[in-house]
Chains A and B, each alone.
Chain A
Amino acid sequence: MKFWEIGKRNLKEISRNPVLLGFLLGMPVAFMLVFCAAAGGGQAGPIALSIVDEDHSQTSTVFIQYIGSVEAIELNEPIYSQESQAQEDLENGRLSFYLLIPSGFGEATQTQQSINLELVHKGADPMIGLQLKPVIEAVGSEFLGVAPPLNVELKGMESEIKNPAVNFYFPGIAVFGLMILISTAAEIIAGDREKGFLARMFTTPARPWDFILGYSLPFIPVLIVSTVLYFGVGMALGLTVVGNLGHAFLIFFLIGFCAIGIGMIVGSLVKSESQAGVSWLFIVPMAMISGAWFTVERMPSALKSIAGALPFIHAIDASRTVINGAPFSAIMLDIYWLIGWAVVLFAAGIMLFRRTMVS
């Protein structure tokens, strides 16, 4: 159990370093407070929604009334009867977005045909539409009983979301918070390497995997405490966890583990004075292209491919989906992807340690 002794030492080094611990736990919480407060926080009012009713049927009228009864939505008056009027108002800045109920909506609901509702927004401001989309989908599913054009997995649940902005930002900020583990793990390893502590430990019979486990295990309590803290702050700000909390925890745990793995690799390769730069050079662009702070739906496909190959976007998407009510089956692929990355990163870490042990 050599790794256990190394792990105990590292846990003590972390827990007795208030600056490091404060940065690790405090910064993401501060970020979450800023982002969620900026997005309305717990006191956020309902989102004002304009509607174009091209169907003019009894069903569409009842559906509009039904939407109006949802707490998170406040209906703008009047209801447009032609899309061209709404489009004009959108172009003139009088509207940010509108929901289009197409002609044939009432008939389609009775014959159970495919229904397309369009949430039209300004290109420059996709965020509010994105926040509203799951609410509309859920309200639609609830109203219709089934959801031919809508996400069936979200059926009847999104209406429970108290504050869509917090539900949108929370997973991104939490994953970003766990990405800070990259810098922390790298700092500890690079520091121990440069001060010669690792070299001293390399003269003992400890093996490479003892070091990998010994340097990663102490972060597990940190990971658990961070995740609990994030959920606590998130819920205080109005986060609604519709899906399975355990699944969300699993995703955060896996991405946290990947971050530790990346940190160990950075720490094994880079000098301690440059590790912060290298880590943040990685963390900030990755957080951006992974949709931690804003939607990446309109991101160029090349960037999307890069983000898709890396683990972070999978963690953000999967946690967002699962928090909003999706079942485990909807996030299986993301989970496999995260496990795959964790395995690759730790295997690479062991190889690097093996190389570092004898120069």
Chain B
Amino acid sequence: MNAVQTFKLTKQFDGLVAVNGIDLEIKKGELFSFLGPNGAGKTTTIRMLCCLLKPTKGTASILGYDVVKTPFAVKRLIGVSPQDTILSERLNCWENLALIGKVHGLSSDKVKERSKELLETMGLVERAKDQVRKFSGGMKRRLSIAMALVSDPQVLFLDEPTLGLDPQARRAIWEYLAELKGKKTILLTTHYMEEADSLSDRIGIIDEGRVVALGTAQELKTNLFGMRNMVVSTESLTAEVIADLHGKYSRVAVTKGQLKISHKDLDFKEIVDYLHSRGVAVYSAALEQSTLEDVFIQITGKKLRD
């Protein structure tokens, strides 16, 4: 049985299709990332899976329980960290964790044990007795993730879990999530390519309510598109040359003396010769493997923050 399965899951808001017939299967213990720009349908999909939104068409199941027909059975199995850090501001860390844990039916002892463990993992022990309204954004987000985990859920939904965190805190959370791989089923949404790339078993690229690409990070970067990149250190690029390159290749980007060209079956020599022929000075040139960002832009035609 799949941990998460959707069946033509669709959501419309006043005629606007936010999620458009998504069919998805996430296996038990899998860490699956949804990658997509703002408004792509990531959060709407998660809200339907968490029983907060009723699908317009189709349905989904969590460990065999239908999200529409048996929402309370689903809610017993899931832990959710929403995109906005939502906490009870005048409660301290212990009290916030106890609230969620006990509403999930955990005993006081179990809640205490789980809370202690999570506060240590998230580096919140020293401030655990302070009201959370005094916390920084990063601390609040760490507590929010701990709240999603306190009930020891079988399926975890993390909506942009590391958004706004400093690199150190982000890395700590990645390490913790990596430890959970195989033990919990995790569905996370993210803007961060590195996060999706390093953590995920599989990635689903979502755009305009549809899953437009699905696979492991490696599959997406290599097999699926066969895209190659060439990075050239250069100067004296003219607008005419850039326009010419745009006409020939899938993607051309120029930033501070660096020219990046992406294309299927890219010919290194052909490009260098062309640049020389147009009087462009080439200081260095190298071929690079595609990144997830390249894949994403290739598929959606958008940058992630569009």
Q: Which of A26-34, A39-47, A196-204 contacts B (4 or more CB under 8 A)?
A: A196-204
Establish whether residues A358 and B72, one from each chain, have CB atoms under 8 Å apart when the complex forms: no
Residues of B close to A1: CB separation below 8 A: 102
Establish whether residues B72 and A207, one from each chain, have CB atoms under 8 Å apart when the complex forms: yes
Establish whether residues A359 and B54, one from each chain, have CB atoms under 8 Å apart when the complex forms: yes
Across the interface, A203 reaches (CB within 8 A) one of B52, B90, B102, B131, namely B52
Known A204-B75, A359-B54; contact A196-B99, beta-carbon cutoff 8 A: no
Establish whether residues A17 and B88, one from each chain, have CB atoms under 8 Å apart when the complex forms: no
Known A6-B103, A204-B104; contact A199-B82, beta-carbon cutoff 8 A: yes
Report the minimum CB–CB distance from A203 to chain B (whole Å).
Answer: 4
* Interface of chain A: mostly helix, strand, loop or mixed: helix
What 0/1 readout, one digit per residue, does chain A (317-359) give for beta carbons within 8 Å of chain B? Answer: 0000000000000000000000000000000000000000111
Task: Tell me if B76 is interfacial: C-beta within 8 Å of chain A.
Answer: yes
A17 to B91, CA, bound (A): 11
Across the interface, A5 reaches (CB within 8 A) one of B51, B103, B147, namely B103
Q: Which residue of B lies closest to A206 (CB)?
A: B103
Establish whether residues B84 and A196, one from each chain, have CB atoms under 8 Å apart when the complex forms: yes
Chain A interface: which size bin? 20 to 34
Task: Tell me if B259 is interfacial: C-beta within 8 Å of chain A.
Answer: no
Establish whether residues A200 and B103, one from each chain, have CB atoms under 8 Å apart when the complex forms: no
Known A5-B98, A17-B90, A196-B86; contact A205-B104, beta-carbon cutoff 8 A: yes
A288 to B61, CA, bound (A): 54
Establish whether residues A12 and B86, one from each chain, have CB atoms under 8 Å apart when the complex forms: no
Task: Tell me if B78 is interfacial: C-beta within 8 Å of chain A.
Answer: yes
Q: Which residue of A lies closest to B51 (CB)?
A: A358
Across the interface, A205 reaches (CB within 8 A) one of B52, B86, B105, B147, namely B105
Residues of B close to A8: CB separation below 8 A: 99
Establish whether residues B86 and A203, one from each chain, have CB atoms under 8 Å apart when the complex forms: no
Establish whether residues B99 and A203, one from each chain, have CB atoms under 8 Å apart when the complex forms: no
What 0/1 readout, one digit per residue, does chain B (82-109) give for beta carbons within 8 Å of chain A? Answer: 1010111111000100111011110000
A219 to B99, CA, bound (A): 18
Across the interface, A2 reaches (CB within 8 A) one of B52, B54, B95, B103, namely B103
Establish whether residues A201 and B82, one from each chain, have CB atoms under 8 Å apart when the complex forms: no
Q: Which of B102-137 contact A (CB under 8 A)?
A: 102-105, 131
Known A203-B50, A359-B52; contact A197-B88, beta-carbon cutoff 8 A: yes
Q: Which of B39-83 contact A (CB under 8 A)?
A: 50-54, 71-72, 75-76, 78, 80, 82
Across the interface, B82 reaches (CB within 8 A) one of A9, A13, A17, A196, namely A196
Establish whether residues B103 and A205, one from each chain, have CB atoms under 8 Å apart when the complex forms: yes
Known A17-B90, A199-B82; contact A12-B95, beta-carbon cutoff 8 A: yes
Residues of A close to B89: CB separation below 8 A: 13
Task: Tell me if A94 is interfacial: C-beta within 8 Å of chain B.
Answer: no
A204 to B71, CA, bound (A): 10
A16 to B102, CA, bound (A): 21
Known A12-B90, A197-B86, A359-B53; contact A203-B75, beta-carbon cutoff 8 A: yes
Across the interface, B80 reaches (CB within 8 A) one of A2, A6, A203, A210, namely A203
Establish whether residues B99 and A9, one from each chain, have CB atoms under 8 Å apart when the complex forms: yes
A199 to B51, CA, bound (A): 10
A206 to B105, CA, bound (A): 10
Residues of B close to A196: CB separation below 8 A: 82, 84, 86
Residues of B close to A6: CB separation below 8 A: 99, 103
A1 to B88, CA, bound (A): 19
A8 to B100, CA, bound (A): 12
Interface centre among A17, A203, A207 (most CB of B within 10 A): A203
Residues of A close to B151: CB separation below 8 A: 204
Residues of A close to B52: CB separation below 8 A: 199, 202-203, 357-359
Establish whether residues A195 and B103, one from each chain, have CB atoms under 8 Å apart when the complex forms: no
Residues of A close to B84: CB separation below 8 A: 195-196
Q: Which residue of A lies closest to B100 (CB)?
A: A204
A201 to B76, CA, bound (A): 12
Establish whether residues B131 and A9, one from each chain, have CB atoms under 8 Å apart when the complex forms: no
Residues of A close to B82: CB separation below 8 A: 196, 199-200
Residues of B close to A200: CB separation below 8 A: 80, 82, 86, 147
7 other A-B residue contacts (CB within 8 Å) besides A16-B90, A196-B84, A197-B88 = A9-B99, A200-B80, A200-B82, A204-B103, A205-B72, A205-B75, A210-B103
- 27 inter-chain pairs at a CB distance below 8 angstroms, sorted by A residue, are A1-B102, A5-B99, A5-B103, A9-B88, A9-B91, A12-B88, A12-B91, A13-B88, A13-B91, A17-B90, A195-B84, A196-B82, A196-B86, A199-B86, A203-B51, A203-B52, A203-B75, A204-B100, A205-B72, A205-B75, A205-B104, A206-B103, A207-B72, A358-B52, A358-B54, A359-B53, A359-B54
Binding site for B on A (CB under 8 A): 1-2, 5-6, 8-9, 12-13, 16-17, 195-197, 199-207, 210, 357-359
7 smallest CB-CB distances across A and B, nearest first, come from A16-B90, A203-B80, A196-B86, A5-B102, A205-B75, A204-B103, A203-B50
Binding site for A on B (CB under 8 A): 50-54, 71-72, 75-76, 78, 80, 82, 84, 86-91, 95, 98-100, 102-105, 131, 147, 151
